[in-house]
Amino acid sequence: MPRPGFVLDVDRSTPPMLFWHGERFSLERLPADRSRVIYPAEPLPGLADPDAAIRQALLQPLDMEPLPSLLHAGMRLTICFDDASLSLPKMRRPDSRQRIIEAVLDMAAEAGVDDVHIIAALGLHRRMHDYELRHVLGDRIFDAFHPSGALYQHDAEDHANLVVLGETDHGEVLEINRRVAESDLVVYANVNQVAMDGGWKSLVTGVASYRCLSHHHNPESLQNTRSLMDRHHSALHHSIWRMGAVLRDSGPKVFQIESTINNDAFPSPFDFLSKREWEWTGRDRATFLATSKALDRTPRRLARRIFHSIEAPYAMTSVQAGFTETVHERTLEHVHAQHIVPVEGQTDILTMGIPFISPYNPESIMNPVLVMCMGLGYLFNMYRGRPLVREGGVVIMTHPTTKEFHPVHHPSYIDFFDEVLADTTDPAEMSQRWERKYAEDEWYRHLYRTGNAYHGVHPFYAWYWGAHGQQWAGRVIIVGGDPATVRRLGFTPASTMDDAFELASEVVGRSPTITHLHVPSVLVADVH
C-alpha cells in the first residue's frame, strides 16, 4: 500500500534535504524547529491491464455513446493527442497515447472508417521531432500515417486552415484547426500528469490560433489564476471552459479520453530522487554520491543529454472516456488521489529545487526564462486553497540559471531575454509594449511553422505563467545562479542557502518559517 504524502517538521535529527540544481543535486540543511518539508505520495499502483482498461473505457464511456457506435464508414475522424510537453520525463514505451490511439484505430478499422487524420495538438509549442512522434505514438502508428501525411502537427499560423467557431459572451473568439472543426468526430488522447491538463484545455489550447490563445494566456488571467492546479479558481480555466461551451455547441462532436499516471518518475539508478532522505539505503547513498560527484565533473551539455534520455517508468492509474466535462471531473479525482497533500497554514519562505526539465524544454535547455516559469509558474502553483508562501513572503529556488538558450527550439527566448527583460520584468508592461511585435515577427513565425521552434510569443506566455507567483512573492532568490542572469530576471542571486536565508531575513525577519517543496515527484499542497 503506497504511503500518502506528508509534512515533516524539521528538527535537529533531520538529515539534509535533497534539492535539484538543474542537472545537478545538492543537500541542504534546513533550520530546525521552524522548517517543514512536504513530501509527495508514493506511486499508486498502475492498472493491471491498461489495454483492457482503455477498451472498456471506450466501450462504456461517460455521458456518451460507446465509441464503436460513433464510428461509421465515410466519416471524417480526427484524433488529436498531447505533444512532447507531457509527460515529464518522457514515459517509457509504450506511451499511454500510443495505447489509446491504437485502441481507437482498431475500432475505426472495424467500422470501416477511411478518412483518419492524427494531429499533434501542440498549440504554440515547438513541432515535435520525428523521433519524438515515434516515441509518443509508437512505430506502428508513425509508419502507417506519417508517410502519407495523415499524421501531422497543428499549425497555429496556417490561417487558411483555421476557422472561427464562435464567440463567448466575454467576447473571446474560438478559432481552431479547420480539420478538427469540420470532422464528424474528434477523439482526444490525453496524458493527465497534473490537474491543470485535460478537459476543454486540450482542444481549446492544443489546436487553437494565437488570437484564440491570447484571450486567456495573458497577464490579467494568469494573475487571477489561483491556482493552475485548481480549475475552479483559475481565470485561465474559466476562459477556456467558456470557449469549451462554444466548441460543444457549435463545433464537432468530441470524444475525450483522459488517462492518469502515477508518481513513478525515475527508473532504478535514480530512484533515490523519489525517496525520503532518511530511508536511503547504503546503495542509495553510494549512488547519490557517485552520481552527484560525477555530475559535478561532467560538462553540462553531456549531463543534460544523460538526464533527457531518462525514460520514466510511469504506470497508468486510470483511463476514462466520453463527454469532456464528465471525463475531466473523474480524471481530477484520480489525479488528486496521487498528488494532494494536506498542509496546515502558509509559510514565510518557500524553498524549491528547480530540476533539469520543464514542460517547455523536453530534449532541450532549461533557459533562464524557463527557470522563472518552472519556479513561479509551475512549482509555486502546486497548491489548492492558498499559496504555500504567505503574500509578501520569499521564494528561494536552486538552479545554475546560466544565460544559455537552445537556438533551434527557443530562438525568440534569446531576444526576449536581451531585449524585453532588459526593458521590463512586469508582465502587463511587456504585454503592452512588446508582445505583438514578437507574435507577428515573420522570422519567428517561419521557424515555428517549418522548424522546431516555439512560437515567437511563447517566452511571453512562459513569463506570464509565473505572473501570479511574481506578484505574490516579496522577493525571489536563486541560489547558485549566475548573478547577472538572475538579476536580469528581476530576482536576487545568492551563492549558498545560508546566504539566501540571510537575504530573505530583510523581508521576513530573523526567524521565518520555512517550507520546502520536495520535488521532482509531483504534489499539490492543499493549504488550509
Partner 1 sequence: MKRAELSSRLQRLIGPFERLTRLGLRPLGRRGFPYLPPPVPNGVIVPEAPDELGAEYDTDWARRPLAREARRLIARGPLRLGTVLATRPTIDGLDRLRDLAALDPAPPLIFAPNHHSHLDTLLMTSVIPRPWRDDLAVAAAADYFFNRRWKATVSALALNAIPIDREVTNRRSSDRFRELVDNGSSLLIYPEGGRSPDGWGQGFKGGAAYLAARTGADVVPVYIDGTGAIFGKGASRLRPGRTRVIFGRPMRPEEGENTRRFSDRIEQAVNRLALEANSDYWTAARTAASGASAHLHGPSASPWRRAWALTEFRSRGVAGRSERGRAWPDLGRRGN
Phi–psi pair at 188, nearest 5 degrees? -115, 125
Q: Round to whole Å and give the CA distance between 359 and 90.
A: 10
Residue from 9, 49, 329, 429 in contact with partner 1 (CB under 8 A): 49
Q: Which of residues 310-349 bind partner 1 (CB under 8 A)?
A: 313
Which value, in Å, is the radius of gyration of the alpha carbons in the chain?
Answer: 22
- The stretch among 136-144, 271-279, 300-308, 378-386 that binds partner 1 (CB under 8 A) is 136-144
The alpha helices in 373-489, defined as continuous H runs, are 411-415, 421-423, 427-433, 435-439, 442-450, 458-465, 467-472, 483-488
Residue from 27, 32, 93, 345 in contact with partner 1 (CB under 8 A): 93
- Report the helix count and the strand count for the chain, using DSSP H and E: 22, 20
- The stretch among 107-115, 155-163, 329-337, 492-500 that binds partner 1 (CB under 8 A) is 107-115
Contacts of residue 373, Cβ cutoff 8 Å, sequence gap at least 6: 358, 360, 462, 463, 465, 466
Contact by Cβ (8 Å): 108, 116: yes
Nearer to partner 1, 114 or 182 (CB): 114
Contacts of residue 105, Cβ cutoff 8 Å, sequence gap at least 6: 79, 116, 141
51 binds partner 1 (CB under 8 A): yes
Q: Which of residues 355-414 bind partner 1 (CB under 8 A)?
A: none
Contact by Cβ (8 Å): 358, 370: yes
Nearer to partner 1, 69 or 250 (CB): 69
Q: Round to whole Å and give the CA distance between 288 and 98.
A: 34
Contact by Cβ (8 Å): 382, 523: yes
92 binds partner 1 (CB under 8 A): yes
- In angstroms, give the least distance from the CB of 61 to partner 1: 21
- The stretch among 1-9, 108-116, 290-298, 350-358 that binds partner 1 (CB under 8 A) is 108-116
Nearer to partner 1, 119 or 382 (CB): 119
- In angstroms, give the least distance from the CB of 281 to partner 1: 19
Nearer to partner 1, 270 or 323 (CB): 270
Angle separating helix axes 96-110 and 130-145, nearest 10 degrees: 10
- In angstroms, give the least distance from the CB of 45 to partner 1: 12
Q: Among residues 500, 515, 193, 512, which one has the least CA distance to residue 386?
A: 515
Q: Round to whole Å and give the CA distance between 327 and 315.
A: 19
Nearer to partner 1, 106 or 440 (CB): 106
- In angstroms, give the least distance from the CB of 275 to partner 1: 20
- The stretch among 76-84, 112-120, 176-184, 222-230 that binds partner 1 (CB under 8 A) is 112-120
Preceding amide of 89 cis, omega within 30? yes
Compute the residue count for the chain.
Answer: 528
105 binds partner 1 (CB under 8 A): yes
- In angstroms, give the least distance from the CB of 520 to partner 1: 22
CA angle 204, 205, 206 (to 5 degrees): 100
# residues near partner 1 by CB under 8 A: 25
- The stretch among 111-119, 126-134, 324-332, 477-485 that binds partner 1 (CB under 8 A) is 111-119
Q: Which of residues 256-295 bind partner 1 (CB under 8 A)?
A: none
Name the residue with cell 533557459. 367
Nearer to partner 1, 4 or 94 (CB): 94
**Strand-pair category, 347-355 with 389-398:** parallel
50 binds partner 1 (CB under 8 A): yes
Nearer to partner 1, 146 or 330 (CB): 146
Contact by Cβ (8 Å): 364, 458: no
Q: Among residues 30, 42, 41, which one has the least CA distance to residue 515?
A: 30
87 binds partner 1 (CB under 8 A): no
Stretch 138-167: interaction string toward partner 1, x if CB under 8 A: xxxx-xxx----------------------
Residue from 2, 15, 16, 112 in contact with partner 1 (CB under 8 A): 112
183 binds partner 1 (CB under 8 A): no
Q: Round to whole Å and give the CA distance between 20 and 475.
A: 20
- The stretch among 93-101, 123-131, 375-383, 437-445 that binds partner 1 (CB under 8 A) is 93-101
C-alpha neighbours within 13 Å on the C-beta side of residue 426: 6
- The stretch among 121-129, 135-143, 167-175, 317-325 that binds partner 1 (CB under 8 A) is 135-143
Q: Decide: helix, strand or coil at residue 200.
A: coil
- In angstroms, give the least distance from the CB of 138 to partner 1: 6
Contacts of residue 114, Cβ cutoff 8 Å, sequence gap at least 6: 73, 74
- In angstroms, give the least distance from the CB of 66 to partner 1: 17
Nearer to partner 1, 107 or 122 (CB): 107
Interface with partner 1 by CB under 8 A: which residues?
49-51, 92-94, 98, 102, 105-106, 108-112, 114, 116, 138-141, 143-145, 313
